[in-house]
Amino acid sequence: MPDLIHDLVNDRIQTLHREAEEQRLIARVMRVQRARRRVQRANDRLREALSRQV
C-alpha cells in the first residue's frame, strides 16, 4: 500500500510539473503574439507617416 501512495504522489508531482511547463509555454506564446502586434502597429504607423511625407 505505501508503494501505491508513493506512486500516486509521484504521478501527481509529474502532472503538476507538466502543467506548469504548459503554462510557461502559453505565457511565452502570448508574449510573442503581443510583441508581434506591437511591431505590426509600429510598422503601420511608420508606413502612414512615410506616406504623408511623400
Exposure string (b/e) for 13-39, b if CB count within 10 Å is 16 or more? eeeeeeeeeeeeeeeeeeeeeeeeeee
Per-residue DSSP letter, 4: H
- Using the Cα atoms of residue 37, residue 41, residue 42 and residue 44 in order, give the sign of their dihedral: positive
Residue 54: helix, strand or coil by DSSP? coil
Give residue 25's pLDDT: 98
8-52 per-position pLDDT tens digit: 999 999 999 999 999 999 999 999 999 999 999 999 999 999 999
State pTM to two decimals: 0.72
Domain boundaries, the chain: 1-54
Give residue 54's pLDDT: 73
Give residue 41's pLDDT: 98
Give residue 1's pLDDT: 79
Per-residue DSSP letter, 1: -
